[in-house]
Amino acid sequence: MKRYIPVALFALAAFVTPYSVNRVFLHTGIERKMGTVQKIFYFHVPLAWIMMALAVTCGIAAMIQLRRQSRLAEATSIAAGELVLITGLGVLITGPIWGHATWGRAWTWDARQVSTGLLWLIFAAFVLLRRYGAGGSDRLAAALAIFGAIDVPIIYYAVKIWKTTHPTTDVVGSLPPQMWNALWPCLIALVAMSIGLLLVRIRQEQGAMALDDAWIAFDERGAGKRGEVGDA
């Protein structure tokens, strides 16, 4: 039963994505100031929300991992951390593409851009630590994830204050409700996609952990046998 949840989510995404694209491009007006390029908004903004949610998920899972020594929580934090990297990359690439068309410059040191970039760096450090850290660094990585999740608002606030010394650019003003409504199908599609990938990755990580344990048990048993033979 559990196996089919990701499949169902992917199927949902596969249905909703064409619908959302249809709705965004054919049934929603073109924004007056920015023109067609504003269509990036419909996938860029939900992706940014998903990234934040995944960062917080990663932090909470890491907290549970530290408190309860839960394998599931550990796998969740790993999976969420990786997906933060993926979605963050999406946000960080589509943002400048949009900015390039709207403001004429890809990187404008907008507070959101900078804070997203910094957050992405923290989770890149998390993934690096998970991958290349020595034994015992899983707990350290968990601490890093907790720090990262708590840093989310602090970074945003810090960059906002830091920004007061820089010229500000008006990003999205107020959009008509029609455009907000077209956002929801895109959000559903992306959320279904991300949760599906998250679940797959969690299962995979759990499998990897179990496999590691099995290998170690096997090796230890083998070593024990050899030891007995040697003694005799």
Among 12, 15, 56, 100, binds other proteins (CB under 8 A): 100
x/- site string to other proteins, residues 68 to 97, per CB under 8 A?
xx----x-------xx--x--xx--xx--x
Instruction: Give the residue with the Cβ less far from other proteins, 96 or 184.
Output: 96
Least Å distance between CB 172 and other proteins? 15
Asked if 121 interacts with other proteins (CB under 8 A), we say yes
Residues 139-178 that bind other proteins (CB under 8 A): 139-140, 142-144, 146-148, 150-151, 154-155, 157-159, 161-162, 164-165
DSSP 155-209: HHHHHHHHHTTS-------PPPHHHHHHHHHHHHHHHHHHHHHHHHHHHHHHHHH
Q: Work out which of 108, 113, 130, 185 binds other proteins, going by CB under 8 A.
A: 130
Binding part of the chain for other proteins, among 49-57, 65-73, 175-183 by CB under 8 A, reads 65-73
35 DSSP 8-state letter: B
> What does DSSP assign to residue 95?
H
SS3 state of residue 103: coil
- Of 66, 182, 192, 202, the one binding other proteins (CB under 8 A) is 66
Q: Give the C-alpha separation, 14 to 7, whole Å.
A: 10
Q: Which of residues 192-221 bind other proteins (CB under 8 A)?
A: 193, 197, 200-201, 204, 207-209, 211-216, 218-219
Tell whether residue 60 is a contact of other proteins (CB under 8 A): no
Q: How far apart are CA 48 and CA 84, in angstroms?
A: 10
Residues 174 and 27: their CA atoms lie apart, in Å, by 19
Q: What phi and psi values does residue 63 have, to the nearest 5 degrees?
A: -60, -45
